[in-house]
Amino acid sequence: MRWWLVCTCVVACTPQPTAEYPGPTYAPPSMAPAMYSATEAGTVVDRKTDFAFDGGRIEIEMRLDGNRVVEVARSRYAVPIVMQWSVGELVNLEPIGPVSGAIYLPAADKPNGVGGAVVLTSYALRIPDAAFNRKLRTHARFGDPQARPEPYPYRLPYQAGKTFTVLQGFHGQFSHRGSNEYAVDFDCPVATSVLAARPGVVVAANAAAQGSGTTSEFLDYARTNFVLILHDDGTLGEYMHLAPSGVRVSIGQRVERGDELALSGNTGYSSTPHLHFQVMTAGSDGLSALSFPFELAVAPNQVEAPVQGRAYPSWE
Ligand SMILES: [Zn+2]
């Protein structure tokens, strides 16, 4: 049998929704729109890695089974993911299933572990034993789209005695819209110790990014250093723009309120050193995140939503 395969994955991890993809429909695993359900059929003829950070990656396999080709995705993160995908520029492939969609990838058993495989789609070879080809585009978001927050008094994410001002609060005009609507930015100088605002488990992180800017290239998730904490209610605490090599926790580690997570920085889509914090999960389209309003324990008996322009001394 002769075959060759060339495929291109484009991961455009922009925090803001774009109009690049037509609106897909979220399909829970039990309703996955796959005409072909065998995730282990045939032989792997291509394997790609996407959305790779500390804690895991997404793997996408093309498997050849007779005259069938099947696309299988799998996550190795210990947190669910919603992935939007589309295929195009098909060569010698007749789609049997959909050519685009948004799919739920279940969490792996542990960080960098083995997650359940999900069929994206399948094709029939138009000409058996001839070359085939496709281009695949993906975009992924961490989180279970059905997670919803329990009320929690988040602590100020920096050490007692330090005071920082909220540069941008909920609905902030610079960048707190769409996926980041309910976020807070504190004006921490670079290398400020960032503390856990709430207990949870470290499920993903990036410490490899360098530099910052406000051009669109910096919207790519990989351009920002971050720590992602999975809370007990299934929501995620996202600490962003951290210093290069500034992550101070291990993947899989349980952290308690006030534990040091990282050193703040100025990486990614940012115009000044600061710490961005939000409580979020994946949107059902795999393109957007869903952020949630939250309240901070700003004083021993005072819990309130962060106010832009206000200075908050940490007291805990
Ligand atoms: Zn922000």
Residue 302 Cα to ligand 1 midpoint, Å, equals 23
**CATH number of the domain residue 205 falls in:** 2.70.70.10
Residues 167 and 287 in one domain: yes
If you average pLDDT over residues 146-162, what whole number do you get? 97
Residues 137 and 157 in one domain: no
Residues 257 and 115 in one domain: no
- Give residue for tokens 């060569």: 91
Look at the chain and report how many structural domains it folds into: 2
Residue 277 Cα to ligand 1 midpoint, Å, equals 7
If you average pLDDT over residues 93-100, what whole number do you get? 94
Residue 171 Cα to ligand 1 midpoint, Å, equals 10
Q: In the beta sheet, which residues pair with residue 27?
A: 103
Strands 302-304, 193-195: parallel, antiparallel or unpaired by DSSP? unpaired
Confidence check: pLDDT of 12 > 60: no
Confidence check: pLDDT of 200 > 50: yes
Average model confidence (pLDDT) across the chain: 88
Query: Is the residue at 3 inside a domain?
Result: no
3-class state of residue 219 by DSSP: helix
- Give residue for tokens 């609060």: 169
Residue 186 Cα to ligand 1 midpoint, Å, equals 8
Residue 184 Cα to ligand 1 midpoint, Å, equals 6
Q: Are the beta carbons of 129 and 1 closer than 8 angstroms? A: yes
Residue 276 Cα to ligand 1 midpoint, Å, equals 4
CA 261/CA 188 separation, integer angstroms: 14
The last residue of a domain, from among 123, 142, 161: 142
Residue 88 Cα to ligand 1 midpoint, Å, equals 35
Residues 124 and 197 in one domain: no
**CATH number of the domain residue 137 falls in:** 2.60.40
CA 84/CA 50 separation, integer angstroms: 12
Confidence check: pLDDT of 28 > 80: no
Phi, psi torsion values for 182, nearest 5 degrees: -105, 75
Question: Which region among 31-35, 122-126, 218-222 has the lowest average model confidence (pLDDT)?
Answer: 31-35
Residue 146 Cα to ligand 1 midpoint, Å, equals 24
Residue 173 Cα to ligand 1 midpoint, Å, equals 10
3-class state of residue 216 by DSSP: helix
If you average pLDDT over residues 208-219, what whole number do you get? 90
Look at residue 115 in the predicted model and tell me its pLDDT. 84
- Which pLDDT tens digit goes with each residue over 216-258? 888 888 899 999 999 999 999 999 999 999 999 999 999 999 9
The range of the structural domain enclosing residue 291 comes to: 153-313
Residues of the chain with pLDDT > 70, as a percent, come to: 88
